[in-house]
Chain A
């Protein structure tokens, strides 16, 4: 992020809102999350897939889970099927 307020010309780099954050997820054999950030998943409220931008060099292939953890916290996590990693995301 660059912000130059000292001169009359300013360049601002816009950032993405709700960027995915790496999450520690332990999946079950069927690919659904069992532990999220070391907390047990009590309920999987919803599950959905997002397949997009397959025509670009950065395709999006995600399996999303809206889960309730043992702490009562509601979290949305997804498995990135392109690079095999897990992320949590707000705003999903």
Chain B
């Protein structure tokens, strides 16, 4: 069976972890900077007050003047989601994550381990934790499993057998299909308001009228593909974070901090000389919000300069002063050796001797004894604002 895990409004729930009292009040996820002013997921109290995700902000505030807009916290949301996926993987499930709050996993491999499908699904819900109000749906087809997860109550596991799939999907609303708003309205204007009604139409006619998106929705309405679940490879765990004594808004300072983080991350023993495929740069912003960007290299990178040059331009996108900057080596290659040069570049020998010397100092005096001085604002009239020292391990 294919199982789907759904945590509705995941990004809002993740943002509310730091302000749990808001969970019981009318609150909604504020739109991100530069995005259309539409509210994101809403709390149950906001739903009772008549608010719906995707409403215009002005309309939402007019409907519920007490509405609290919660700043999105994408870095926390990704970390929380990563934690959930890892707990599922620790329980033996091969997880395919499709979006924050939505994942698929195959139960075949673990049904015997846990004593049946129901037990395996319960185990998955327990691994996620009750505070997320997760739901699980299982079916022989992906879309049916996802629909079941969306229909299930918090903490419920809903199983739809193959023979009942059509019957189960038929009364569900069209919004569960991956159709854009206009296409859905077009269908509703034609009197097609339920998944079953769409499934009953000839596929060719749907494709002709609504194009490839419509055809894909029609296929989903009939249960979707049986598609195999591709469990992800667990990402690497090397992260480096630098906390600033005070909020930093200066791009040059942040670029220097990035250079320091890159150098530190690459010298971590866990990296074991592997090459970097994917990196993520995130920042904790002043006021509690966060910012995050990921980057995948076409050719895996092994030197700090390349990573720094690739991530550097992202720094200018940081929307507010930064309290802490974090670099994650998200994915690394398996291989450790790539013969790219026959002769070591000038200075490499000196660099390795220096590293060895630093390791000796560290071994004799303990951690924190070796630090790098990073000039952050050499032009400042306040001497202690000109440079920072950053403890180093390597």
Interface residues of A, Cβ cutoff 8 Å to B: 1, 3, 5, 7-20, 50, 52-53, 60, 89-92
Contacts and interface: CB of A to CB of B under 8 A. Distances in A.
A44 to B, nearest CB: 19
Contacts of A14: 242-245, 257, 374, 388-390
A3 B381 contact: no
B270 A10 contact: no
B365 to A, nearest CB: 13
B268 A8 contact: yes
A8 to B, nearest CB: 4
Contact of B388 (A3, A5, A15, A50): A15
Contacts of A9: 237-241
B383 A92 contact: yes
A53 B263 CA distance: 32
Given A1-B391, A8-B238, A8-B270, A17 B382 contact: no
B347 interface: no
Nearest to A76: B383
Given A3-B391, A5-B393, A18 B386 contact: yes
B373 interface: yes
B233 to A, nearest CB: 16
Interface residues of B, number: 32
B237 A16 contact: no
A17 B240 contact: no
Given A3-B368, A5-B367, A15 B383 contact: no
Contact of B382 (A5, A60, A90): A60
B368 A16 contact: no
Q: Which 9 A-B pairs have the closest CB atoms?
A: A8-B237, A14-B388, A9-B239, A17-B387, A16-B384, A11-B241, A91-B383, A8-B270, A92-B383
Given A5-B367, A16-B388, A17-B389, A11 B243 contact: yes
B384 A10 contact: no
A15 B347 CA distance: 29
Contacts of B391: 1, 3, 12
Contacts of A53: 382
Prevailing SS type, chain A contact patch: loop
A1 B368 contact: yes
Contacts of B236: 8
A16 B384 CA distance: 6
Interface string B316-334: 0000000010000000000
13 contacts: A3-B393, A8-B238, A9-B237, A10-B240, A14-B390, A15-B371, A15-B388, A17-B389, A18-B384, A18-B386, A19-B384, A52-B381, A92-B383
Nearest to A14: B388
A91 B244 contact: no
Given A10-B240, A18-B387, 5 more contacts: A8-B268, A10-B239, A10-B264, A14-B390, A17-B389
Contacts of B113: none
A15 B371 CA distance: 10
A10 B367 CA distance: 13
A10 B386 contact: no
Nearest to A89: B383
A16 B248 CA distance: 13
A51 B374 CA distance: 24
